[in-house]
């Protein structure tokens, strides 16, 4: 033991001790530096991962916002196209009233009903025109009702249909009895009676209000 202690305190022992201490210092320093570097790498990796997650989340949010915007635009475009189609159907229906209005539609000369039938020919012609006008309106209203889904406009179309049927009922009944009866009824009849006129005006007003925010298509008729 004394020999070991003597050697340990000798120059060789001290040199060895210094070398060992230095080695331990180097090992400790290396371990510490490696540990610190590893912590920095993990921290940097975690930060990079978080940035990627944040970037991906931001990209996903942008994509979702773009998808939502495109979907809103698609739905708005479909709504506008649908409303434009409905408005055009109403405009076409109203155009029939203007374009098919019979030349003798409001003729009233005041021929007595007891006159000779031959003198009623003009009223028979008027009655024939009125019946043709009635059927053209009914066809147009049927088409418009099929095309239109807006509840208020559809109701206005049905009201006009009801008014038209009501005001033409007597003439339709006369048609079944013969041309002479058609002429007699046509004497006192206008192509568009007060109920039809009121219903037609309401249809125009309701359609104008319901489709107010839809830009006019260049192909729409001016109604």
The CATH number covering residue 82 comes to 1.20.120
Of 152, 137, 139, 146, nearest to 192 (Cα)? 137
Q: Is the pTM of this model over 0.85?
A: no
Regarding whether 8 and 85 lie in a shared domain, the answer is no
Half-sphere exposure (CA, 13 Å, Cβ side) for 37? 6
Tally of domains in the chain: 2
Among 13, 38, 62, give the residue marking a domain's end: 62
Query: Which residue range forms the structural domain that includes residue 91?
Result: 77-212
Write out the chain's pLDDT in tens, 223 residues.
666 556 556 666 567 666 777 777 777 788 888 888 888 888 888 888 888 888 889 999 998 999 899 998 988 888 888 888 888 889 988 898 888 888 776 666 554 555 554 567 888 888 898 999 999 999 999 999 999 988 999 999 999 999 999 989 988 898 899 888 888 888 888 888 889 999 999 999 999 888 875 545 444 444 4
Among 38, 62, 86, give the residue marking a domain's end: 62
**108 neighbors 129 (Cβ within 8 angstroms):** no
Regarding whether 170 and 96 lie in a shared domain, the answer is yes
Regarding whether 193 and 104 lie in a shared domain, the answer is yes
């Amino acid at each position: 033991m004394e020999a070991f202690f003597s050697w340990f305190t000798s120059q060789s022992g001290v040199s060895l001790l210094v070398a060992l201490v230095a080695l331990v210092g180097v090992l400790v320093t290396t371990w510490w530096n490696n540990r610190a570097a590893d912590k920095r790498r993990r921290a940097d990796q975690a930060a990079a991962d978080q940035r990627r997650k944040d970037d991906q989340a931001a990209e996903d949010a942008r994509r979702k916002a773009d998808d939502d915007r495109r979907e809103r635009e698609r739905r708005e475009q479909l709504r506008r196209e649908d409303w434009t189609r409905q408005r055009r159907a109403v405009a076409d229906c109203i155009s029939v009233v203007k374009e098919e209005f019979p030349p003798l539609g409001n003729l009233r000369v005041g021929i007595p009903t007891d006159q000779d039938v031959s003198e009623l020919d003009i009223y028979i012609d008027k009655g024939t025109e009125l019946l043709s006008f009635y059927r053209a309106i009914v066809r147009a209203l049927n088409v418009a009702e099929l095309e239109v889904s807006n509840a208020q406009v559809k109701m206005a179309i049905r009201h006009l249909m009801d008014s038209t049927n009501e005001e033409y009922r007597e003439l339709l009944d006369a048609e079944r009895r013969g041309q002479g009866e058609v002429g007699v009824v046509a004497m006192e009849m206008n192509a568009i009676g007060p109920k039809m006129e009121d219903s037609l005006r309401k249809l125009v007003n309701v359609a104008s209000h319901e489709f107010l925010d839809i830009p006019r298509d260049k192909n729409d008729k001016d109604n």
